[in-house]
Homo-oligomer: A and B are copies of this chain.
Amino acid sequence: MPDFELHPQLAADTVPVATWTLCEVLLLTDANYPWLVLVPARTGLRDFHDLSPDDMVRAGREISRASEALMELFAPDKINVAALGNMVPQLHIHVVARFTDDAAWPSPIWGVAPAKPYAPDALDARLADLRRVFG
């Protein structure tokens, strides 16, 4: 997929964690929540239903893989999965570990608490944990 380019807003808000069959896996740099963003590395996709049938199967598999990694690492109370994209028009799928005592519970996370930067050590540790679980 030589033409695929990550949207600059997503690049600015995240750090890369892994490259899977379909998706670039990114960590959104808001320490309020363990928050992954999966971006199918295909050009011109905007909505979930823009995925081809085969890519939709891959997307389901990769959402599960991301969710299960978050469950294993953080034992959250809930996983939230969402493809919204009202602000950034490149298809991206949020996979977020939620806790009953997190900054937005029980609301969805968007627009509730200001983003909280990771301390550099904490970011390195989180990336290392995620990459280890992703294998």
A interface with B by C-beta (< 8 Å): 46-49, 51, 53, 56-57, 59-61, 63-64, 67-68, 71, 78-87, 98, 105-108, 110-111
Chain copies in the assembled complex: 2
| Distance in Å: Cβ of A73 to nearest Cβ of chain B | 14
CB contacts (< 8 Å) of A83 on chain B: these are 80-82
A106 pairs with B87, CB closer than 8 A: yes
CB contacts (< 8 Å) of A51 on chain B: these are 60
Known: A47-B81, A57-B57. 11 other contacts (CB 8 A): A47-B67, A48-B79, A49-B67, A56-B64, A78-B85, A80-B82, A80-B84, A82-B82, A82-B84, A82-B108, A84-B108
Residue of B nearest to A100 (CB): B86
| Distance in Å: Cβ of A78 to nearest Cβ of chain B | 6
Complex: A46 Cα to B63 Cα, angstroms? 15
Complex: A68 Cα to B56 Cα, angstroms? 15
A86 pairs with B82, CB closer than 8 A: no
